[in-house]
Amino acid sequence: MSERLEDIAAAIVGGGKGLLAADESSGTIKKRFDVIGVESTADNRRDYREMMFRSKEAMTKYISGVILYDETIRQKAADGTPLVDIIKAAGAIPGIKVDAGAKALAGFAGDTITEGLDGLRERLADYYKLGARFAKWRAVIDIDSTKGVPSATSIGSNAHALARYAALCQEAGIVPIVEPEVLMDGAHDIDTCYAVSKATLLKLYDELYAARVVLEGTVLKPNMVISGKKSGKTDSPEQVAEKTIKLFRETVPVAVPGIAFLSGGQDDEEATANLNAINVIGPHPWKLTFSYGRALQAAAQKAWSGKASNLAAGQAAFTHRAHMNHLAALGKWKPALEQAA
């Protein structure tokens, strides 16, 4: 495959394919395994991810790349094959999460700043040697109007960090996925989500421009515009699509080749239905696809449940969700397809 940043970015978002976010930290994957009664050992984590990476239909037809965690990008399958090589053999692109997580922003209660810039140049060089051709950095923007969250300082600090990360990635020959996630955990309505997301994206692209990041060699990983979980409001896919596309047309330059949505706590079918509705109202100047973690993996985790005898069932569940989101990325998903599975 071409090593040009622009070509890698285009491959990540093209053809209705999307990203498998398999970059859960050790703490997060333990919580997921606790739910299905599986001990979070290195071998179990490897076996689980190997199960997905060896799902031939899903990986070759529907998945463009996989976001890995530091442990996973170095792991080998049970037969000794590096997991990175399994991903590449399927025609998908290995990627890596490089941020060190969100920490409290000093002086701004309720706000966070994502850390991890120290030593990033050297870590990116190492990850490139290990096979990574894209990376991910997640900024976390919470909404709590009663506490003045997020502050302009939080938005600005996180946008600046994303831009510095992106510039370092491109210097290393790695495509940066920039992820400014406005959380859907709060009690806010869809219009508040829209306003905060707009302020965040406008600042982000100001900072990317100032950092001389080549936008054609980037991918945006944003939230959809949606009401907070605690609001008691349920937005229709059509409402989510209308607000989300209005937001992007006001903030995202057309030089960006594609947008790969995070699921942000939406359930499996909700994330698929909203992505489909967004694509149905196209055409758009960007490719609009998925970069899902739980919304791709939850069913597969439950079907697998840590048992070798459930390997085929886990792969079938993963393949189904990948297929549904592939169709949604093309605007061709129908609810009836879920019931027919």
Q: Which of 141, 80, 66, 138 is nearest to 110 (CA)?
A: 141
CA distance 243 to 241: 6
Identified catalytic residue from 17, 221, 243, 287: 221
Q: What is the mean pLDDT of residues 196-202?
A: 98
Q: What is the mean pLDDT of residues 295-308?
A: 96
Q: Which of 47, 48, 70, 17 is nearest to 298 (CA)?
A: 48
Q: Which of 205, 175, 165 is nearest to 291 (CA)?
A: 175
pLDDT of residue 292: 98
Show the beta-strand stretches assigned E in the chain.
18-21, 63-68, 93-97, 102-104, 112-114, 134-141, 175-182, 219-220, 258-261, 287-292
pLDDT of residue 301: 97
Q: What is the mean pLDDT of residues 5-22?
A: 98
Q: What is the mean pLDDT of residues 326-340?
A: 94
Q: What is the mean pLDDT of residues 249-266?
A: 97
- The tens digit of pLDDT for each residue in 28-80 reads 999 999 999 999 999 999 999 999 999 999 999 999 999 999 999 999 999 99
Q: Which of 262, 268, 321 is nearest to 290 (CA)?
A: 262
Q: Residue 293 belongs to what domain range?
A: 5-339
**Catalytic residue check, 97:** no
pLDDT value at 114 more than 90: yes
pLDDT of residue 2: 83
Q: What is the mean pLDDT of residues 88-108?
A: 98
CA distance 129 to 123: 10
pLDDT of residue 340: 65
When pLDDT is cut at 50, 70 and 90, the band that residue 336 belongs to is very high
Q: Report the CATH number at residue 55.
A: 3.20.20.70
Q: What total of structural domains would you count in the chain? A: 1
Residue type, 304: W
